[in-house]
Amino acid sequence: SVIRDISGINEMEESLQRKLGIQKVIIVSGNSDESPWVKTELGRAAANWMKSSLTGENIIAVTGGSTIAAVADRLTPVDTEKSCLFVPARGGIGEEVKNQANLICATMAERTRSKYRVLYVPDQVSRDMYESIIKEPEISEVLQLIKSASMVLHGIGDAITMAERRKTSSEALKEIQGAKAEGEAFGYYFNDNGEVVYKVQTIGLQLQDLSNIPCVIAVAGGETKAKAIAAYMKQAPRSTVFVTDEGAAKRLLEG
């Protein structure tokens, strides 16, 4: 639009897309650190992109977090000739209920009038229990759906903020801090070179699965997340479409 041209947002989107080496960047005005409505706008922009990327049959894997919850709130019913099935990307990673992928999947399904499946996995499980859990027919069926996802929708968090928000043990927290983790996505923690320095042990989507998924949408904004975003983007699949705000985008372009 004319307004976006005048404010230079279109130009910023192109520069950032080239800098991050990904498919596309969408920037909304403002800084979500300062104004809560900017997160609502992030949600709206991501929901619109998501809907425009739907094909006939879609399996959509989603992560947790308040940003992806904002996307859920902005979704509207999909065309009746399209079908959507929402699944959580990974099992429990320590988030409180309102930030959990299971709840977000249910909300997305309700708002789009589609279906969802949940993945009930305890947050901290022993190796033995983990091995037996994934053999449960109900669980392995959902895991198959996750592996065949056509779209992934995920958040990106600041590493220490995420570790502190989740039920992270003090040993793990020390490990995450010691390894200078900056960013977090899918329960993986990344240093500023984009290397995985810590990983939450759970089932579901693994980082290496991402490259097989045709449509990957990352949503994260706020100036304070710029370092985290830069860290994650070092290894993000090139097919990623990144929805962010001016606050994060300006910092990312400076850095």
Interface contacts to ligand G3H, rule CB under 6 A: 63-67, 155-157, 162, 184-185
Q: Provide, rounded to whole angstroms, the least separation between the CB of residue 184 and ligand G3H.
A: 5
Nearer to ligand G3H, 157 or 204 (CB): 157
Tell how far CA 58 is from the center of its chain.
17
Contact 4, 10 (CB under 8 A): yes
Q: Provide, rounded to whole angstroms, the least separation between the CB of residue 201 and ligand G3H.
A: 16
Q: Name residue, tokens 């290397």.
A: 195
Nearest to 20 by CA among 245, 239, 247, 246: 239
Exposed, middle or buried: residue 192 (CB in 10 Å: 0-12, 13-18, 19+)? middle
Nearer to ligand G3H, 83 or 192 (CB): 192
Q: Provide, rounded to whole angstroms, the least separation between the CB of residue 162 and ligand G3H.
A: 6
DSSP 88-113: ESBS--S--GGG-HHHHHHHHHHHHT
Nearer to ligand G3H, 185 or 215 (CB): 185
Q: Provide, rounded to whole angstroms, the least separation between the CB of residue 167 and ligand G3H.
A: 14
Exposed, middle or buried: residue 56 (CB in 10 Å: 0-12, 13-18, 19+)? exposed
Q: Provide, rounded to whole angstroms, the least separation between the CB of residue 154 and ligand G3H.
A: 7
Nearer to ligand G3H, 97 or 144 (CB): 97
Tokens of 168: 């992270």
Nearer to ligand G3H, 63 or 240 (CB): 63
**Cα(198)–Cα(185) distance, integer angstroms:** 11
Q: Name residue, tokens 């309700």.
A: 110
What residue number has its CB nearest to ligand G3H?
65
**Cα(20)–Cα(63) distance, integer angstroms:** 22
Nearer to ligand G3H, 143 or 153 (CB): 153
Q: Provide, rounded to whole angstroms, the least separation between the CB of residue 5 and ligand G3H.
A: 29
